[in-house]
Amino acid sequence: MDKTLPDLAAAVAGIEDGMTVMIGGFGGSGAPIELVHALIDRFLATGHPKNLTVVNNNAGNGHVGLAALIEQGMVAKLICSFPRSADPRVFTDAYLAGKIELELVPQGTLAERIRAGGAGIPAFYTPTSFGTDLAKGKPVEEFEGRAYVQERWLKADYALVKADRGDTLGNLTYRMAARNFGPLMCMAARTAIVQVSALVEPGSIDPETVVTPGIFVQGIVQVANPAQEEDLNRANARYPEDAA
C-alpha cells in the first residue's frame, strides 16, 4: 500500500513511446522540473520515450523543464492553452518548423476536459469558444436559448505532478498557486506520479486539508528542495547543462 518510489528514475520508468503525459504547472508554478528532467535523462540514455503527446497549460519557457523536453525532440504533440512565455523559442522554432503538432484549447475548457477525464464524463457542453475558430468541427447544441459547444474528456497514460506534502498513501497538499492543474491531472491519468517536497507518514496531513486524495495517485517520490522554473530561467539554466 506504500506508494513511495525509490527515486526519480524509477518514477518515470514506465513512460513509453507514444504515450500521453500530462505535466502539471502553470508557467513555472507547479512545474515538476525534476520529474521532467528525469525523463530527459532516460531519453538521453536509452532513446526513449519519444513521440509523446504532452498536456500542459503552456509550452515551456527557456531551456529547462517542458521546454527542454521539447528541445530534445521527445514531444510529437502538445495540447495546451497558451504556448507563449518569456522565452518561448524552443516551442516556437519546433512548431514553425513543423516538428511538433499543436492542439490549442481554451484554458477553462482544458481544465474541464481533464477533470471530465478523471470523473468519467466523456463529454460536456460549454459556452466557451462558441462561434470561434476553436469550435470548428465540434457539435453545437442549444440549451435554454443559448448555444454551447460539445467538448470531450482528456485522459492520459501518465501525469507528472508537483505537490508540496504527500503521505505514503498519496494524499497531497499543494503550495499556493502551484496547485493549478495538479489535482485534475492526478485524476485523469492512469498512472499519476507526484514529486513532493516532504514525504510524510499517513496521519501527518489533516484529513480536512487533503487536496488530492490518495486514490488519484499511483506513485510518489520526494524531491526535498525542488527547483523553481522561474529561478532556473532567471539564471539562464539549460538542461542538460552541457547542452549550452
Partner 1 sequence: MSKLTSTQIAWRAAQDIADGAYVNLGIGFPEMVAKFQPPGRQAIFHTENGILGFGEAPAAGSEDWDLINAGKKAVTIKPGTAFFHHADSFAMVRGGHLDVAILGAYEVAETGDLANWSTGPKGVPAVGGAMDLVHGAKRVAVITDHVTKDGKPKLVKTCTLPLTGVGCVTRVYTSLAVVDVQDGRFVLREKLAALSFDELQSMTGATLYIDGDVADLTVPEL
Beta bridge pairs of residue 54: 21, 78
Say how far apart CA 112 and CA 55 lie, in whole Å.
13
Residue 141 interacts with, from a second copy, partner 1, none (CB under 5-8 Å by kind): a second copy
Taking the complex as a whole, how short is the minimal distance between the CB of residue 45 and a second copy, in angstroms?
36
Q: Which parts of 40-69 interact with partner 1 (CB under 8 A)? A: 57
Site for a second copy in 168-227 (CB under 8 A): 173-176, 206-209
Q: Does 98 bind a second copy (CB under 8 A)?
A: no
Q: What are phi and psi of 76, to 5 degrees?
A: -85, -30
Question: Nearest approach, Cβ of 244 to partner 1 (angstroms)?
Answer: 22
- Which range touches partner 1 (CB under 8 A), out of 36-44, 65-73, 137-145, 205-213? 205-213
The binder of partner 1 chosen from 177, 235, 236, 243 (CB under 8 A): 177
Of 37, 45, 96, 101, the closest CA to residue 69 belongs to: 37
Q: How far apart are CA 159 and CA 54, in angstroms?
A: 9
The nearer residue to a second copy, 50 or 175, going by C-beta atoms, is: 175
Q: Figure out which of the listed residues 141, 231, 234, 236 binds a second copy, where binding follows CB under 8 A.
A: 141
**Interface with partner 1: number of residues (CB under 8 A):** 74
Site for partner 1 in 124-163 (CB under 8 A): 126-134
Q: Does 9 bind partner 1 (CB under 8 A)?
A: no
Q: Of 58 and 128, which CB lies nearer to a second copy in the complex structure?
A: 128
Grid cell 514531444 in the structure block, residue: 75
Q: Is 229 in the site for a second copy (CB under 8 A)?
A: no
Of 193, 241, 242, 200, the residue nearest 221 (C-alpha)? 193
Query: What is the radius of gyration, based on Cα positions, of the chain?
Result: 18
Among 127, 131, 202, 203, binds a second copy (CB under 8 A): 127
- The residues that touch a second copy, with contacts defined as CB under 8 A, are 112, 116, 119-127, 141, 143-144, 146, 148, 152, 173-176, 206-209
